[in-house]
Structure 1
C-alpha cells in the first residue's frame, strides 16, 4: 500500500491497492479497488491516477472492479525516450494490453482530458474489448480535413499552446523550474480562468505570470497539491508533453477511421466553464457529437464546473458514471 492510498476512503468489497503491471512492453503503475465488471479510468495532462481519487471508491462500492493507471509517460509508469512512442496507437494499445494483463476480456473505459481521446479511440478501434465508453471534458473524435498543427499554421496561428509544446525541452524547462508553482497554477486555474489563455504570449510561457500565493480552489486540498507536486518532481513533464508531439501523427494514423462512429453505449460529461468545450470548435463538437456517438445515453454539462470536473464536482460525476455503467451492463 503506497502513500496515495491513505487519501482514499474504503469502498466496494475490497480495499484500494496499488501495483505495477507489465503490459504492451512498458511497466504500468495502477490503483485498483473492487470486484465485478472491469472499469478503466484514464487521466489526462498534467494529472495522474490520483485524479480519480473520488471516483475509484465510489464506483467500486457500486459493484465494479476499478483500475486507474498512471498513463504512459506519467507518474510511476514507464516513459519511453522515443517521442514517436506516444501516439494514440501506443496509448490505446496500453489499455488493450492492460485489460488482458488483468485477466479480463472486456471493460468499460472512461477518460478525462487526454484520457478522453484514449477512451474514445479505444472504443472505436476495439469494440470487441471495450463495451461502453465515457469521455470527460474532451468531445469524441472528429477528424478534421488536415493535420492539426498544419491547420493552425495555415490559419495564421503560431502561438497556440499545442505549438508551444512541440519543441522538446522548451515547455519542460518552464514547467520544471518550480514544479510546486506549476501545479498550483495549472490545477488551480484549469482552463476556465480568464488568466489561463490557451495562446502563449512572447516571453511569458504557458503559465503566464504565475502567482505563488494563488489561493487553492476548494476541491484541491494541500495534501492533493503536494501529491501531484512530488510526483512531477520525480517524473518531470517530458512524457506527458510527448502526447502533444504526436498530434499530427495521430491525424495520419487515424485516416482509416475517417467518419467512423462509436456504437457502444456512451456518456459525455463536461463543466460549463471549461474553455475546451465552450470555444467555437469545442462548442460545435458538443452540438454534433451524436454523429459520432449514435448510442449516446447522456450529455451532462455541469453548471459552474471547470476543466478538472471529476475532482471539482465529484458527487455529480460519480452519480452519472455509476448510473451509466450499471445501465451498460
Structure 2
C-alpha cells in the first residue's frame, strides 16, 4: 500500500507561505488539521534538502491533529541566500536559525512548539531546544544525534583527523569548489540525482564521505530511486533559484556556532526528546549516538533499517515511531515510551 505524501507543486492540504524573519524572507509550508489543533510542529530539513524532505511526514502529522510548519533553512530553496562575504557567516548559525524560527512562531501566534529535525535540521532543533526552552516543549531528531556544546574549540580539520574521518566531505563542501563547479540547471539535476542515490551504469557514485563530491560521475548518473521525476523537478527548481552557495555556508559555521554557544552554559536537553537512528547511515553512524542519553532528562529511542535518507526511504517506519511518541509522550503526558 502506497504511503501518503505531499505534492509540493499542488496539494490542497498545505499552503506555501513566506515571512520576513529578522530581516530575511523565509519560505515555509503550512498544513492545518481539519479539527481542533492539538499542537504545532516545526520540521527542519538538512542538506541537500528543503521542506519537501518531510513530504511523507507532513500528512501523517496533520492527520494526527497537529499544525505543521516546514520552513526552508537560510540559503535553501525559497528562503533568502545571502552571500558570505559581504554578509556575516552568523546568518547561517544555529542561534540565528533559532531566533528566526522563534519569530516565525510569534508571527503565527504560537507560544510553544514541538521541533523535529533531520541532518542539519537535527543539529538546529537540538540547539534550539537549548536556546529557546520556553518555546520548545518537545524535540525529536532523525539521524542526527545530540552532541553538547563544548568549552574548547575543535576545528573541522581536527575532527576529520581524529574521531570522525567520515566528515571529510564537509571540508570539500566548505571549500569554494563544489558551489563553483555545480551551477547549471543540468549540473544541479545530476548532482541531486546522485546525492539521493542515483548511480552510473557501472555503479558510479557522486558522493563519498571521506572525499566529497566526485565530479567525474555527474554526467553518468541515472535516476534517483528516492524521488519521482516530478519531485526531482521541484528540487531542481528550488536549488536553481540561488545555486549552492547558501547551502554550503552551513559547512562554514563551526567556529561561529562554538563562539555563540559559549553563552549557553547548558548541556542538558530537558524537554522530552526522541532520537531515531538510521542504522545504515554512513556519515551519522550509530556509534555517534552512544551515550547521548546522559544529556537527556526524558529520552526516547527508535531505529529504522535505512540509510541517511530514512524520511523517504522508510517513511512508514519513521512515521510509526514519531506517531507513537507523540501519542504517548506528547499527548499522553508521559516522558518515556
Q: TM-score range by the shorter chain?
A: 0.7 to 0.9
Give the match for residue 30 of structure 1. 28
- Contact 1:41–1:69 (8 Å) recurs in 2: yes
Question: Deviation string for 1:38-92 (max 9, x for gaps)?
Answer: 1000000111111111111110010000010111111111122223311111111
Query: How many angstroms apart in 2 are the aligned matches of 1:118 and 1:87?
Result: 9
* Alignment equivalent of 2:111, drawn from 105, 111, 123: 105
Shift in CA distance, 65/155, structure 1 to aligned 2, threshold 3 Å: closer
How many residues were matched structurally?
309
Q: Which residues in structure 2 correspond to 1:138-153 (within 5 Å)?
A: 138-144=144-150, 145-152=152-159
Q: Is the 8 A contact 1:134 1:267 kept in 2?
A: yes
| 1:183-218: CA deviation from partner (whole Å, max 9, x where unpaired) | 00011269xx995421227xxx4556335342422x
The offset of 1:155, in angstroms, is 4.9
So what's the TM-score if we normalise by structure 1?
A: 0.85
Among 77, 80, 93, the alignment partner of 1:78 is 80
- 3-state SS of 1:71 partner: coil
Instruction: Name the counterpart of 1:236.
Output: 243
In the TM superposition, residue 295 of structure 1 has moved relative to its aligned partner by 0.8
Unaligned 5+ segments in structure 1 are none
Query: Which residue of the partner structure matches residue 186 of structure 1?
Result: 195
Report what 2:135 is aligned to. 129
Q: 1:105 to 1:52 in 2, by over 3 A?
A: same
Match of 1:161 in 2: 169
**Partners of 1:290 and 1:212 in 2: CA distance:** 43
Aligned to 1:17: 15
SS at match of 1:276: coil
Pair 1:126–1:302, CA change in 2 (3 A):
same
Compute the RMSD of aligned alpha carbons. Answer: 2.7
Distance 1:126 1:206 in 2: 39
Question: For 2:204 and 2:57, how far apart are their aligned partners in 1?
Answer: 28
TM-score, normalised relative to structure 2? 0.84
Structure 2: runs of 5+ lacking an equivalent: 1-5, 332-337
State the Cα deviation string for residues 116-154 of structure 1 (Å, max 9, x = none): 011011111111000000011110123454323252476
Q: Superposition pairs for residues 1-329 of structure 1, below 5 Å?
A: 4-6=8-10, 8=11, 15-35=13-33, 36=37, 37-81=39-83, 82=87, 83-144=89-150, 145-152=152-159, 155=162, 160-167=168-175, 169-177=176-184, 178-188=187-197, 195=205, 196-200=207-211, 205-207=213-215, 209-210=217-218, 212-217=220-225, 219-257=226-264, 260-278=267-285, 283=287, 285-297=288-300, 299-303=301-305, 305-326=306-327, 327-329=329-331
Aligned residues of 1:119 and 1:133 also touching (Cα < 8 A) = yes
Change (3 A) 1:248 1:222: same
